[in-house]
Amino acid sequence: MEKNIIITGGSRGIGAATALLAAEQGYNVGITYREQEAAAHAIVTQINQKDGKAVAVQMDVSKEADIVHAFTQFDKQLGRVTALVNNAGTLKQGRVVDTSAAYLEQLFATNVIGSFICAREAIKRMSTARGGQGGGIVNVSSIAARLGSANEYVDYAATKGAIDTFTIGLAKEVIDEGIRVNAVRPGLIHTDIHTSGGEPGRIERLKNSLPMKRGGYPEEVARAILWLLSDDASYSTGVLLDVSGGR
């Protein structure tokens, strides 16, 4: 079976690392990006220059029409998806007392609803009940779902708590259709999400609170994602795998 993977938010960080590793493991790779067009195409070029196959499609994961369009494009350019990584997400550092309904609506649309709709589109193509050959979904959650992230990201943590529940429920819903659904929960990982969230030095400030005394790297999360999608994890579904330095 040809292996075709779609990775949302694949232009940087964990998404980019997952795209590169997936290509090394024989996947045809489709990545989405919202704004980082140059970075996305740099990942595509890197894969294609090594005799892999990769394409990038612009998509705002908070918009259903964008998601449907992107999956249609991947159908044409890659073929039927066999693996989905729901990685795209956003956050902003702050306290609950200072948040707004408008921000929460956008946050949940991006981090939660977008993952639901991407999964919906993948299931339509993967499900053995719909003529597919099965497949795998990995949701990128966060250790924040378990810790709560008080005084920093309670709203973001809540979206990831929703992703954890979504993962467990969906895994039970589609296993009879040949689809396994799991999640990784990264901790402090060296990506620019901390900068975009408001504190570039966050890992340095917090690393000594971790048993491993260091931040993690995108490649370490990517290896966990690809393992969960592989046949080596064939008896695992509904799993929440922490990649968090022991936290």
Catalytic residue among 33, 103, 156, 217: 156
State the CB neighbour count (10 A cutoff) for residue 230: 14
| C-alpha separations of 217 from 2, 112, 174, 208, 220 in Å | 29, 24, 31, 16, 5
| 103 a catalytic residue | no
| C-alpha separations of 12 from 59, 71, 81, 137, 143 in Å | 14, 20, 21, 20, 20
Q: Which residues contact 204 (CB under 8 A, 6 or more apart)?
A: none
Give the active site residues: 156
